Amino acid sequence: MKKKRKYLNIDEIHAGLFEILSEFDRICRENGLRYSLAYGTLLGAIRHKGFIPWDDDVDVMMPRPDYEKFYSLVMGGEVKLKEHFLVSDDRGKKAPYPFMKMMDDRYSIKAYSHIEVPYLFVDIFPVDGVPDLPEKGRKKVFHKELFYNFVISMTKWYIFASSWWAYVVRVLCFWFYPIWMIYGRRRAIRKIHALLLKYPFETCELCDNRSWGMTRDYMPREIYDHFENVDFEGKSFSIISDWDKWLTSRYGDYMTPPPVKKRNPTHGMRIYRNDV
């Protein structure tokens, strides 16, 4: 008789994510790599001293030079991850996204909205230079990135997603689907990767996470020159020193929690433990 899966509650998911984040932090500290908690994880560190109670993911960001060194060390086998941990590629034939994810293969995922990597993960985003161009030129780059991200997303969601809005997308975008598949996720990832590296982090005045679509919440490059430690679930992790400016730019009054009805998980995935 097939054993019934036991899906994890939010506290158990947080415990799994914390293990992945701790392994990522170990690699960075041992190799002198800069990183910062990001998005809801950074917000949780400041507002809750840990996870946002209803959040089900972890995000970190790295200046592109550190990101590339992390990639080289891990993918080249110069550093060894502890058992069960692995990192997804962000380029090449098997890349699922144009950014890396660190995973733990003891935790598997069942996603309803889109296809992710198969295991519980922490998103690792590169911080890249923002094009020093007139607004028209910058918008052109922005729209290219959105197109590549859209192709990557739709080749995942269109066939496999089971949420109601995914069915609406199938109906409305039926005639465009062959074009997305012909263009291909692999080509889109290759194109966006080349576009990201075209504007070096070290020489641009403004920076942003552009790997998943520019947010236009540009930050001065210097903001990524200074880091400090913060308590997150009882352990010290790295964040940018000017975290208030970063969080205010994205969330406004970030210390005020959203209404109860909007306190929903980020990904809405069902996660289960493989080895129990």
Per-residue pLDDT at 178 = 72
Per-residue pLDDT at 6 = 83
Q: Is residue 165 a part of any domain in this protein?
A: yes
Q: Is residue 121 a part of any domain in this protein?
A: yes
- Look up residue 16 and give its amino acid: G
pLDDT band, very low/low/confident/very high, at 169 (cuts 50, 70, 90): low
pLDDT band, very low/low/confident/very high, at 5 (cuts 50, 70, 90): confident
Q: What's the pTM value of the predicted model, to 2 decimals?
A: 0.91
Provide the residue range defining the domain that includes 75: 10-273
- Look up residue 91 and give its amino acid: R
Cβ atoms of 211 and 131 closer than 8 Å: no
Q: Is residue 5 a part of any domain in this protein?
A: no
Q: Is residue 144 a part of any domain in this protein?
A: yes
| Closest among 215, 158, 148 to 185, alpha carbons compared | 148
Q: Is residue 59 a part of any domain in this protein?
A: yes
Q: Is residue 4 a part of any domain in this protein?
A: no
Query: Rounded to whole angstroms, how far apart are CA atoms 32 and 19?
Result: 20
- Look up residue 23 and give its amino acid: E
Q: Is residue 28 a part of any domain in this protein?
A: yes
Which residues lie below 8 Å from residue 167, measured CB to CB, with a gap of 6+?
none
Our count of domains for the chain comes to: 1
What confidence tens digit (pLDDT) does each residue in 45-94 have?
999 999 999 999 999 999 999 999 999 999 999 999 999 999 999 998 88
Per-residue pLDDT at 22 = 98
| Core vs surface per residue 146-178: b (16+ CB within 10 A) or e | eebbebbbbbbbbeebeeeebeebeeeeeeeee
Beta-sheet pairing, 206-208 with 100-110: unpaired
- Given a cut of 50, whether residue 106 has pLDDT beyond it is yes
Percent of the chain clearing pLDDT 90 (strictly above): 68
Query: Rounded to whole angstroms, how far apart are CA atoms 42 and 57?
Result: 12
- Given a cut of 50, whether residue 159 has pLDDT beyond it is no
Q: Is residue 2 a part of any domain in this protein?
A: no
Query: Rounded to whole angstroms, how far apart are CA atoms 136 and 220?
Result: 20
